[in-house]
A and B are shown apart, each in its own frame.
Chain A
């Protein structure tokens, strides 16, 4: 039986059952909209290809511990990183992307610095900022040393503000 609400009385005269069902419809509508938005947004996520081994995004073998001199920097273009072997023999894999706006930073042997061609930001061998406009150290990738071979996992770059000793990886002491 249809009960018409009295127009002079306004909202209060809508029967409670109808009000409840209307609210339920509205709620379901919002849920549907949310689902729809979720579907559309999931198309925006980049389809990450299988991390190819040896390619950027995957695990890269850099070389044996012995093949790197202390206080040296070796470029790995395919991996998008530099392998820095510090004075004390520790290793760091430094992402080549400048933390200012993303340019690729070359290692300048003469100055012993990473110097960005875009806006002249400069970083030391550990990736710490020497000169602005960059204001945080270069990102690093995790380094793992197995059987005296250095591996770099380029799946995820780690952000840091500055150098910390725990970021350095040392080869096992061989007796």
Chain B
């Protein structure tokens, strides 16, 4: 800078004490520490963790999507009106009269759904690379809490357009709450406006969606990243036979990691942008509380739960089974493992084999169970409360436990697997079954919720 002693120079130096673009190694190191957005990065990273196939950039993609959601969401907030009278028309104003309003809305809609998919994939990556062993156990819990927060964001946002799709999907989803003993009634008292969803519901959901969720999410994200840093970064990838490396070779974060992150981020934004330009977010007719569409389905991420409702007694489908699965998920980092398999995909060679077996078995058995259940529960059956709890609740649940137990006993006997592989196998069984249930709920349920092929 020529006029270093000018007033411009003095202002610039008061903000940036170092050169804005670092020119060499030491300036780069200082740059990392001084720049707010990058200061949580280490100055070097293990070169093996730069491999894309370690994480597939999923965590980073989630961050990008969250930032996109906040940006588009804030813009939307200037146009959207959270009242039952004006909500729908404010969205039409957004689409037709606001410059790029249609694009902002589409972006917000598609990023919301993509985000749920990405964080599920991220969780699967973390699990299958064993990145939940100490010292990363608590970060798994934080991640779980963020998952819940994102689901809450999706669910509350789903209602806001106040069209037929929104109104009835949320009616059905809050209807499921009724089957939670004691607290279900309490939740409904808060969410519902009297007996149905109404203006108070919209108000409540809007407040949660635009204030509570973003605050909680940002706090959890900061916590999550700090824990990653504390754990020394990502797990170091290795083959099952290799020993874990205690001092891996490292290379500078700038440019190696930052460049890769920028590439993934810009590619993701480009893809999402193109999609949002070409495909519109759905908007059905304005909400009509007197007319339930046929069929009425919950949002796709709740379709698995709704499908379970078709087969199990409601308290089991909506309360007991999700609670049990949730507890198992939370307990995963704290179970007794025989080894720390951080960095190895699917635990071991035999882990890959038994994992594949678990997936195939769940893929075959779940549709079979669904069809059997449909045959047994054909509408027109006698209605009575007592046998239902046993026949459609306890009995099928015990059956599932037995199937799982037999499979685990088999792989233990045949392949002498350790607890790592067994737990992974159970995880895969539950996961695959739920995926099948979700796909059934989305694509194989038609009018009157009868089971039918989608073509």
* Interface residues of A, Cβ cutoff 8 Å to B: 44-48, 56-57, 77, 80, 95-98, 100-105, 116-120, 129-133, 135, 139, 157, 161
Contacts and interface: CB of A to CB of B under 8 A. Distances in A.
B296 A103 contact: yes
Interface size class of B (residues with CB under 8 A): 35 or more
Interface in B57-73: none
B195 A119 contact: no
B294 interface: yes
B243 interface: no
B290 A104 contact: yes
A135 to B, nearest CB: 6
Contacts of A135: 314, 383, 385, 388
A119 B379 CA distance: 10
Contact of A129 (B291, B295, B309, B383): B383
Contacts of B341: none
Contacts of A48: 194, 200
A100 B178 CA distance: 9
B204 interface: yes
A131 B296 CA distance: 18
B340 interface: no
B255 interface: no
Interface in B183-231: 190, 192-196, 200-201, 203-204
Contact of A103 (B195, B292, B379): B292
Contacts of A130: 383
B248 interface: no
B2 interface: no
Given A102-B175, A104-B290, A118-B294, 4 more contacts: A45-B190, A97-B195, A101-B296, A102-B171
22 contacts: A44-B190, A46-B192, A56-B194, A80-B195, A80-B196, A96-B290, A101-B171, A101-B175, A102-B171, A102-B174, A103-B172, A103-B175, A104-B291, A118-B294, A118-B296, A119-B295, A129-B383, A130-B383, A131-B380, A131-B383, A133-B310, A135-B388
Given A80-B195, A97-B195, A101-B171, A132 B383 contact: yes
B168 A103 contact: yes
Interface in B272-330: 289-296, 309-310, 314
Given A44-B204, A104-B289, A135-B385, A119 B448 contact: yes
A103 B171 contact: yes
Given A45-B190, A46-B204, A120-B448, A102 B379 contact: no
B345 to A, nearest CB: 41
Interface string B152-194: 0000000000000000100110111000000000000010111
A118 B190 contact: no
Interface string B72-96: 0000000000000000000000000
The 6 closest A-B pairs by CB, nearest first: A46-B200, A101-B175, A102-B175, A117-B294, A103-B292, A118-B296
Contacts of A80: 195-196, 289
Main secondary structure of the interface of A (DSSP, over half): loop
A84 B196 CA distance: 21
B406 interface: no
B413 interface: no
Contact of A131 (B196, B379, B450): B379
Nearest to A120: B448
With a 10 A CB-CB cut-off, give which of A129, A131, A132, A135 has the most chain B CB atoms. A132
B381 interface: yes
A105 B293 CA distance: 11
Nearest to A95: B195
Contact of B176 (A44, A56, A95, A101): A101
A119 B194 contact: no
Nearest to B195: A157
B335 interface: no
A82 to B, nearest CB: 11
B422 to A, nearest CB: 36
Contact of A116 (B196, B292, B310, B314): B292
Contacts of B291: 104
Nearest to A135: B385
Contact of A120 (B192, B203, B379, B383): B379
Contacts of B175: 100-103
Nearest to B190: A44
A95 B296 CA distance: 19
With a 10 A CB-CB cut-off, give which of B200, B201, B296, B309 has the most chain A CB atoms. B296
A118 B290 contact: no
B206 to A, nearest CB: 13
Contacts of A101: 171-172, 175-176, 296, 309
Contacts of A47: 200
Contacts of B448: 117, 119-120
B194 A118 contact: no
A7 to B, nearest CB: 31
A123 to B, nearest CB: 11
